[in-house]
Structure 1
Amino acid sequence: MTFVPWSAFRTAEPAFAETVRHRFERYRHHVLATLRKDGSPRLTGLEVDFRFGELWLGMMPCSRKAQDLQRDPRFALHANPGADDSMDGGDVRISGRAVEVTDPEEVARFVAEAEPPEPFHLFRVEIGEVVRTCVEDDELVVRTWRPGAKVRTVRRR
């Protein structure tokens, strides 16, 4: 599987990337899926950050989700569906791998801009797949993007 940074997704599919970003920015908390040591899934709440042209995940020090990603960087991230059950903007998911950022200059740049509570673990997202599911004109519409490919759209009645 190929993985690319958010900036590559944004360059390849700017309109789709903007739709996905808007969906994530609409709500503060989302759901992150990681893999436990035994391979079983772990779901936890998470805030995301779009900054410097990339998608970032910040976590409390020594949190289970951070430990999961340090051991196995694969993840899935699901945008908050919203409180009103409308799913306005569709259902959006990103999967890929999370690369821990430990370079002091890069971490300092993030801290200066985002002012996160410290200490923390910082991960930069590398995307393997983006999926948006919504209803348009009484059809279920599933749009999928993977690195190196165009957006694939499937419609069902």
Structure 2
Amino acid sequence: MPVVSWKQFSAEEPRIAADVRRRFGASRRHVLATLRRDGSPRLSAIEVHWRDDVLELWSMPGSHKALDLRRDPRMSVHAQPGEAGLGDPDVKLSGRAFEVTAPSERRAWIERAKPAGDDSHLFRVEITEVVTTGVDEAAGQLLIKLWRPARGVVVFRRH
């Protein structure tokens, strides 16, 4: 499955990217889905950050979610849904999260972000899918926008 960077996604779909950033910016903690060693899902709280045009996930040292991502980078993150109003879409983003291990990048991140510890984990996200779900009040319909690389946006409406 093709993947793109946040920069590529936001250049291709700026309006959806703005909705995604707004929803993730509305709350500090969100829900991350990773895969355990046995293939079963694990849900964890996560903070989502942007550095310039790069989407990042940060994690405490040795956390299960970080170990899951090291083993299998596939993930999904759901923006905190409890704080959205009817005008704000629900947002889910899927892709792969790769740990940043280059010493110079890690040092720069530690100086900038001041994580819980120097051995905290930094992951860079590459996107495979973005879904927003909102309400078109005028039409009385649920409005779902599904974006995938090389396919663009597909819109679904439900009564």
Identity %: 49
The CA deviation at 1:88 is 4.9
> CA contact under 8 A between 1:130 and 1:146: conserved in structure 2?
yes
Aligned match of 1:149: 151
Listed as ranges, the matches of 1:7-86 within 5 Å are: 7-83=7-83, 86=85
The CA deviation at 1:86 is 3.8
> What is the alpha-carbon distance in structure 2 between the residues aligned to residue 101 and residue 112 of structure 1?
15
> CA contact under 8 A between 2:87 and 2:135: conserved in structure 1?
no
With structure 2 as the length reference, what TM-score do the two structures score?
0.93
Show CA shifts across 1:73-119 (max 9, x none). Answer: 00010000124x74551210001100110011111222222222212
> CA contact under 8 A between 1:27 and 1:82: conserved in structure 2?
no
Q: CA RMSD in A?
A: 1.3
User: In structure 1, what residue type is equivalent to 2:96?
Assistant: R
> What is the alpha-carbon distance in structure 2 between the residues aligned to residue 89 and residue 22 of structure 1?
9
Rate the CA distance shift 1:87–1:77 in 2: closer, same or farther, 3 A: farther
> CA contact under 8 A between 2:33 and 2:76: conserved in structure 1?
yes
> What is the alpha-carbon distance in structure 2 between the residues aligned to residue 53 and residue 14 of structure 1?
12
> What is the alpha-carbon distance in structure 2 between the residues aligned to residue 101 and residue 87 of structure 1?
37
With structure 1 as the length reference, what TM-score do the two structures score?
0.94
Rate the CA distance shift 1:149–1:25 in 2: closer, same or farther, 3 A: same
Stretches of structure 1 that go unaligned for 5 or more consecutive residues are: none
> CA contact under 8 A between 1:29 and 1:47: conserved in structure 2?
yes
The CA deviation at 1:36 is 0.4
Show CA shifts across 1:101-151 (max 9, x none). Answer: 001111122222222221201100000000000111221000011111221
Rate the CA distance shift 1:52–1:111 in 2: closer, same or farther, 3 A: farther
SS of equivalent to 1:17:
helix
> CA contact under 8 A between 1:81 and 1:87: conserved in structure 2?
no
